[in-house]
Amino acid sequence: MRGYALPVYVLCAALFTALYFQQPINAPGISLENLTAFRGATPYQYRVLTPILARMTQAVLPLPLLSIYIALTFAFALGLFVAWRAYLQPYFGESAAVYATAMLYPLLWNYTIAGSIRYPWDIPAIFFFVLGVALIQREQWQLYYLAFFLACLNRETSCFLILAFALLNWRRCPARWLMWNIVAQGALWLGVKVFLTRLFLHNPGEKVFENKLASNLAFVQSALLHPLESWDWMLLTFGWMAILIALGWRTLPTDLKRLLLIVPPFLFGMALVGDFGQIRIHNELVPILLAPALWSIKQGTLRWRRAKAASPLNCG
C-alpha cells in the first residue's frame, strides 16, 4: 500500500468530512459566525485556532464560512491520517501505512454515528496530539514546540501532551533537561490560557471552565445501574479497544504502555469539565487506546499465521 497510502488517506478524510457535516456545527452562543467573529461564549471561544484560520482564509478567499470550516476539517483529517502513520511506524514498520487506515473507524463512529454535536476543534485536537507524540518519538523538539503551541490555541486538553512528553522521556533523558522542558511547556500552556481568558473577559459564558462533576457522576451511576442499556455504546466506542489491550498486554511495547498512564488523569479531568455523554470529548484517548488495540490485532494475526503454517494440513 506504500505508494497508494496518500490517495487512500485522502478518500478516508473526504468520506469522514462529508458525513461529519451532515449535521451543523451550531449550539447556543457558539455558532461558526460567533466563533469566527470572536463573540462566542466562553470557554468555547478560548479555542481560537480554527476561528483564526477561518478568518485568515476568508480574508484571502471570500468563501462561505461553512465551506471554509469544511475545508479546514478535511485538511486536519488528512493530516491526522498522515501523522497517525508516523505515530504507528516505530511499532508497525512498513505495515503502519495499512494500520493507519483504522483511524477511520473511531472518526466515523465516535464523531458522526454516536455523536450528534460538532465542534471545529475536535479533529484538530486529535491531530495535534498524534503529531506531538510522533515528534517526541523522533526528538524533533523545535517542531514539537510549534505543534504544542498551536495545540494550546486549539483546546485546553493540549496539556496532556506535556504528560506524554514526560512519560516517553522518563529515564531516557537527563533529569534536569526533562524537568526544564516540562516547566517550559507548563508555562507556555498556562500563559496561553491566561492570555485568552483576559482577551475574552467580556464574552458571555464561564470564565474558567464549566463544572460538570455532578452530572457526570449521575451519568456513570446510571450506566452502572443499567449496564444493558449502555453496553453497546461503551463497547463500540472504546470498549473493544480496552478488551484488545487487555488480551495483548504482555507483548505491548513499553511506550504504548506508558501512554496508557494518561487515561486515568484524562478521565478525571473530563469528569470535572466535560460531558461524559458526549463521546467526542475524549479526543486524545482515541490514539492512546487505538494504537495498543491495533498492536494486539497485529500480534494475534501473526500468531494465527504461524499456527496455520505449522499445521499438518499445510504439509506435503
Give residue 27's pLDDT: 63
29 pLDDT band (50/70/90 cuts)? Answer: low
Cell triple for 271: 469528569
Give residue 231's pLDDT: 65
Q: Are 242 and 289 in contact (CB under 8 A)?
A: yes
CA distance 237 to 245: 14
Has residue 315 got a pLDDT over 60?
Answer: no
pTM over 0.95: no
CA distance 149 to 158: 9
Helix (H) or strand (E) holding 129: helix 122-137
Has residue 118 got a pLDDT over 90?
Answer: no
pLDDT digits (tens, 9 = 90+) for 45-67: 999 999 999 999 999 999 999 99
* Mean pLDDT, the chain, integer: 89
311 pLDDT band (50/70/90 cuts)? Answer: low
Angle between helices 65-92 and 285-310 (to 10 degrees): 40
Has residue 154 got a pLDDT over 70?
Answer: yes
316 pLDDT band (50/70/90 cuts)? Answer: very low
Cell triple for 148: 504544542
pLDDT digits (tens, 9 = 90+) for 234-282: 777 888 899 999 999 999 999 999 999 999 999 988 888 877 777 888 8
Please enumerate in sequence order all residues whose Cβ is within 8 A of that of 91, keeping only pairs 6 or more positions apart, or say none: 253, 255, 256, 291, 295
Mean pLDDT of 278-294: 91
Cα dihedral across residues 200, 60, 66, 107: positive or negative:
negative
Q: Which residues pair with 240 in a beta bridge?
A: none
Cell triple for 29: 452562543
Q: Name the one residue in this structure whose C-alpha cell is 501505512.
A: 97
Q: Which residues pair with 42 in a beta bridge?
A: 205
Mean pLDDT of 133-139: 97
Cell triple for 61: 478567499
Mean pLDDT of 286-291: 96
Cα distances (Å, whole numbers) of residue 158 to 51, 121, 124, 128: 17, 11, 11, 8
3-state secondary structure 8-65: HHHHHHHHHHHHHCCCCCCCCCCCHHHHHCCCCCECHHHCCHHHHHHHHHHHHCCCCH
Has residue 308 got a pLDDT over 90?
Answer: no
pLDDT digits (tens, 9 = 90+) for 96-111: 999 999 999 999 998 8
